Amino acid sequence: MSEAGGNAGAAHNQASSAVRLTAIRIRLNGSAVADDVPPRLSLADFLRERRNLTGTHLGCEHGVCGACTVLVDGEPARSCLMLACACDEREVETIEGFAGDPVIDALRRTFHQHHALQCGYCTPAMLITARDLILRQRAGSAREIRDGLAGNICRCTGYTNIVTAIAEAARELRRGAANAQ
Amino acid sequence: MKAPAVDYVRPGSLAEAIDLLAKSQDEARVIAGGQSLVAMMNLRVAVPRLLIDIARLPELTAVADDTEAVTLGACVTHAAIEDARIADPSRGLMPKVASGLAYRAIRNRGTIGGSLALSDPAAEWPGVLTALDAEAMLCGPTGRRSLKCAEFTTGIFETRLGPDEIVESIRIRKLSPEARWGYVKLCRKSGEFASALAVVVCDRALGYWRVVLGAANGAPLVLESASRVVSEGAMGQLQEAVRDDLDRAADRHFDEFQLNLHTVVAMRAAQQALS
Ligand SMILES: Cc1cc2nc3c(=O)[nH]c(=O)nc-3n(C[C@H](O)[C@H](O)[C@H](O)COP(=O)(O)OP(=O)(O)OC[C@H]3O[C@@H](n4cnc5c(N)ncnc54)[C@H](O)[C@@H]3O)c2cc1C
Ligand code: FES
Ligand code: FES
């Protein structure tokens, strides 16, 4: 039992319908954060309602649209399918937290240049997903990028400009890396 | 929608998790990656009173690699398999399967044990583990028992897992260097659940051949005649054998379209394996 998990020691009391709050400590965009949350609270609602980080969007709340994608321990995850209490002792990064990140910087620039957003609802998660594709070297061709974006729905752009922007950012970063060598 | 009110515990050991589960029975559900369970809770089709979080239990994230087999802890993620961060007993089959299962954000959290325990008929692992002749180790208050994955899943979301049992690990025999496999998943969009799924494993050195269909209106369907034909390398008889197998599975109530899809994926997977 981890200390911060809090409540395994106190046996589950079947008679009571009162739900206990669970203490969590997470590292959120680089800062330590502690809170007491009802277990049913999703990570997405924790971020939006308790931390005012509204760059994380909710579309479907069952894993399909990808709008809520954030990083958990450095890896993309659906914040609608993670309970905030299950993020105890984990690191979470949201779109508000990438200041100075070279990949996100490049993507922001190319999304802007190529008009890769219209309403912007899908954009924070598109950026986080695209960053992961680039870092895992899965953005080598339009086809690969489209495959990697299958879990992120955009209802506006038709994807063409998003794919172009990601391909361009990936190329820029590869060139930058080659020049640095 | 939002998940219903629920309690949450994160036990520190498998024994503690089993104990909690046994004490609360129907009221409790274990949660691994949560990639199906939280979605079901958000949709209010699952309303557990207590969640027992097993995702980080060291017993369930361990991987053991011996000369004959690789044993994967139930909470090994799809992404770890995709990236071959852990030993691969299947000579590339399992990483290939994982890479097309759902989306990366879901693969990062979803687990092989959760997938098997849930046994969604359209899921990959129940069929693939059946094709690999894998064994599931189940742990309950009275001890452990092991069960072939081919017998574990009994129907649509139906398994032999007891209400107080947890899938602890999955043991997969290593394929020999001569082994060949074929794998075809049909879906309209990368990462979606399959509309048809076929896995073929041929390992001459082990004297082992199996053709299995997923997304088959029930538990994974082992195609006996097709497996025999593949073992004989008699490709010319394959289509007929697949049709015979499908005809015998009348209880699955396949319509013409499904029969066609299943035949196509079985043929393509067999061709991959034998080419
Ligand atoms: C949008 C979307 C697309 C998806 N596409 C696919 C797909 O194409 N193919 C596919 O196979 N899957 C797909 N999935 C499901 C995904 O693979 C899940 O990760 C998996 O089905 C369940 O694993 P989990 O660890 O998340 O389990 P959880 O959601 O935590 O649990 C699922 C069920 O299994 C039980 N359980 C979990 N672990 C254990 C255990 N060790 N012992 C006993 N019981 C246990 C839980 O109590 C619960 O009832 C998709 C999911 C989403 C949201
Ligand atoms: S809101 Fe999480 S995937 Fe749609
Ligand atoms: S820009 Fe509107 S959903 Fe993508």
pLDDT digits (tens, 9 = 90+) for A144-176: 999 999 999 999 999 999 999 999 999 999 999
Residue B168 parent element (H or E): strand B166-173
Domains and CATH numbers, chain B: 7-53 (3.30.43.10), 58-173 (3.30.465.10), 180-274 (3.30.390.50)
Q: How many domains does chain A have?
A: 2
8 A C-beta contact, residue B33 and residue B74? no
Report DSSP state, residue B236. Answer: G
Q: In this predicted structure, what is the pLDDT of residue A19?
A: 75
How remote is the C-alpha of B51 from its chain's centroid?
Answer: 23
Q: Position B200: which residue type?
A: V
Select from A76, A97, A118 the last residue of a domain.
A97
Specify the pLDDT at position A4.
41
Sheet holding B50-53, edge to edge: B7-9, B50-53, B28-31
pLDDT in tens, B181-204: 999 999 999 999 999 999 999 999
Among A58, A118, A128, say which to mutate for ligand 3: greatest number of ligand atoms within 8 Å of CB.
A118
Nearest to A47 by CA among A84, A90, A7, A99: A84
Question: Given a cut of 90, is residue A10 above it in pLDDT?
Answer: no
Indicate whether A118 belongs to any domain: yes
Please, what are the averages of pLDDT over each run of 10 residues along chain B (275 residues)?
96 97 90 98 97 98 97 98 98 98 98 98 98 98 97 98 97 97 96 96 96 97 97 94 96 96 97 93
Predicted confidence at residue A16, as pLDDT, reads: 47
* Number of Cβ within a 10 Å radius of residue B44: 11
**Strand residues in chain A grouped as ranges (E):** 22-28, 31-37, 69-72, 75-78, 91-93
Q: Which candidate from A14, A19, A66 shows the least CB-CB separation from B103?
A: A66
Residues A150, A134, single domain; the answer is yes
Q: Best interface-test mutation with B: which of A13, A71, A78 has the largest number of B CBs within 10 A?
A: A78
CA dihedral B153, B158, B162, B168 (to 10 degrees): 50
Residue B236: per-residue pLDDT: 94
* Closest ligand 2 atom, residue A63 Cα: 3
Answer left, alpha or beta for residue A27, where phi above 0 means left and psi between -120 and 50 means alpha. Answer: beta
CA distance B130 to B152: 9
Amino acid at position A137, single letter? Q
User: Which of A75, A97, A119 represents a domain boundary (last residue)?
Assistant: A97
Determine the Cα–Cα distance for residues B265 and B242; give it in Å rounded to an integer. 10
Q: Does residue A158 fall inside a structural domain?
A: yes
In a domain, A3, yes or no: no
The ligand whose atoms approach the alpha carbon of A121 most closely is 3
Interval A45-69: pLDDT, tens: 999 999 999 999 999 999 999 999 9
User: Which of A56, A74, A97 marks a domain boundary?
Assistant: A97
Half-sphere exposure of B192 (CA within 13 A, CB side): 9
Contact criterion met (CB below 8 Å) for A5 and A20 = no
pLDDT at A17 over 50: yes
**Cβ-nearest to A75 among B5, B24, B108:** B108
Q: Do the domain assignments include residue A5? A: no
Copy the structure tokens of residue B128.
């693939």
Residue B17 confidence (pLDDT): 98
User: Do residues A84 and A45 share a domain?
Assistant: yes
- Structural domain that includes position A64: 21-97
Summarised one tens digit per residue, pLDDT across range B94-106 is: 999 999 999 999 9
Contact A62 B42 (CB under 8 A): yes
Q: How far apart are CA A132 and CA A149, in angstroms?
A: 11
Answer yes or no: do B104 and A132 touch at CB < 8 A: yes
From the CA of A153, which ligand is nearest? 3
CA of B85 from ligand 2 middle (Å) equals 27
